[in-house]
């Protein structure tokens, strides 16, 4: 079994976790069908279209 022989120091732990502060939020793109903002390479949550065709049925809001 892998058991740590020594405690990981605070500096070493924080160096390992520092990459999370450098990551950017995912960028949003405009849906070509309904012009709402959506994540790139994903189905639009507003209209349900992806790559020019309907991928998911979206219930109409009442």
pLDDT tens per residue across span 1-48: 889 999 999 999 999 999 888 888 889 999 999 999 999 999 999 999
Domain that holds residue 47: 28-62
Q: How many domains does the chain have?
A: 1
Flag whether 19 is in a domain. Answer: no
3 state SS of 35: coil
Flag whether 49 is in a domain. Answer: yes
Rounded Cα distance, 13 and 50, in Å: 41
Rounded Cα distance, 26 and 43, in Å: 15
Flag whether 12 is in a domain. Answer: no
Rounded Cα distance, 21 and 47, in Å: 33
Flag whether 7 is in a domain. Answer: no
Rounded Cα distance, 26 and 40, in Å: 9
Q: Looking at residue 62, what is its pLDDT?
A: 53
pLDDT tens per residue across span 39-60: 999 999 999 999 989 988 888 7
């Amino acid at each position: 079994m892998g058991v740590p022989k020594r405690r990981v120091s605070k500096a070493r732990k924080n160096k390992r976790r520092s990459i999370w502060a450098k990551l950017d939020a995912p960028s949003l793109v405009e849906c070509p069908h309904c012009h709402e903002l959506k994540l790139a390479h994903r189905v639009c949550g507003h209209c349900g279209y992806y790559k020019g065709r309907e991928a998911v049925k979206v219930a109409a809001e009442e």
